[in-house]
Amino acid sequence: MTASDDRRLRATQAWLEIALAEHASIPSFARFSIELVALGAPPDLLERSARAMEDEVRHTKMAFAIASRLAGKSLGPSAINVEGALVKQPEWREVCRSTLLDGCIGEGVATRQAEFGAARSGSPEAKGFWKTVAREEARHAELAWSFLEWAVQQKPELCGYLQRELDRKVESMGLWPSDLEDELADLMEFGILSRADLGRIAVESVAEDIIPRAREVFAPVLVG
Ligand SMILES: [Fe+2]
Ligand SMILES: [Fe+2]
């Protein structure tokens, strides 16, 4: 296998993983909608959750299209085991925690990573994907913050807990160790970010976007 074949193969695999992650995020919004209803959230949040689910379907289709083109054959999702995904009545603490981790942090970090992808991608198709994803993941992160703003008005006692969960998450995040091999390091021409860039951007996003925003959302409730 030539070096260029090897890079193309690794890029295909990386795009397939992106597509599968997007695919797995579709039912997260189905679940979030059920949780919103169960907690009595305002319809505006439900509307935004339904729209976010459509966004994730679009991201999934775009990423599979890129992976398929690189592979030279049609690629798509396989079955996912969702057993146990919805077994009990949603509970405030757990819904707030997962919204903070997956929504505020996960989608917030993904927004910045996508902006970087849009600015650096060598391929126009990948650039288009990252542009769309940057715009829409930003919206999903905003939905998560809107939910938490509403939730801590209902349950102010959760603020301390959520702040501690955020602190714990921040402590566990790190940069990609420079002595470890980064198998994505040379794939930017295919629109794939290196693990080092992904890690660095995640740390920046948490420090510059997420911690200050959490302070705005939790602090007034904590003081009041
Ligand atoms: Fe997405
Ligand atoms: Fe998203």
Q: How far is the CA of 216 from the centre of ligand 1 (A)?
A: 26
Question: Could you read off the pLDDT of 40-90 as tens digits, one per residue?
Answer: 999 999 999 999 999 999 999 999 999 999 999 999 998 888 777 766 789
Residue 146 located in a structural domain:
yes
Q: How far is the CA of 182 from the centre of ligand 2 (A)?
A: 25
Tokens, residue 60: 């999934």
Residue 78 located in a structural domain:
no
Q: How far is the CA of 118 from the centre of ligand 1 (A)?
A: 14
The CA-atom distances, in angstroms, between 58 and each of 26, 46, 137, 142, 144 are 10, 19, 12, 19, 20
Q: Poorest-confidence range of 5-19, 82-96, 164-178?
A: 82-96
Sequence-distant (≥ 6) Cβ neighbours of residue 50 within 8 angstroms:
29, 33
Long-range contacts of 80-88 (CB under 8 A, 24+ apart): 80/23, 80/24, 80/27, 82/27, 85/27, 85/31, 86/31, 86/34
Q: How far is the CA of 82 from the centre of ligand 2 (A)?
A: 19
Residue 84 located in a structural domain:
no
Q: Could you tell me the residue range of the domain that residue 179 belongs to? A: 3-71+89-223
Q: How far is the CA of 155 from the centre of ligand 2 (A)?
A: 25
Residue 197 located in a structural domain:
yes
Q: How far is the CA of 22 from the centre of ligand 2 (A)?
A: 8
Q: What is this structure's pTM? A: 0.94
Domain of residue 142, CATH code = 1.20.1260
Average pLDDT score over residue span 189-200: 96
Q: How far is the CA of 108 from the centre of ligand 2 (A)?
A: 9
Residue 77 located in a structural domain:
no
**Helix (H) or strand (E) run with residue 96 in it:** helix 92-98
pLDDT band at 222 (very low <50, low <70, confident <90, very high): low
Question: Could you read off the pLDDT of 96-155 as tens digits, one per residue?
Answer: 999 999 999 999 999 999 999 999 998 999 999 999 999 999 999 999 999 999 999 999
Q: How far is the CA of 133 from the centre of ligand 2 (A)?
A: 8
Q: Which residues surround ligand 2, an ion (CB under 5 A)?
A: 107, 137, 140
Residue 83 located in a structural domain:
no
Residue 30 located in a structural domain:
yes
What is the Cα–Cα distance from 122 to 127, expressed in whole angstroms? 7
Most confident of 2-6, 180-184, 191-195: 191-195
Residue 79 located in a structural domain:
no
Report the domain count for the chain: 1
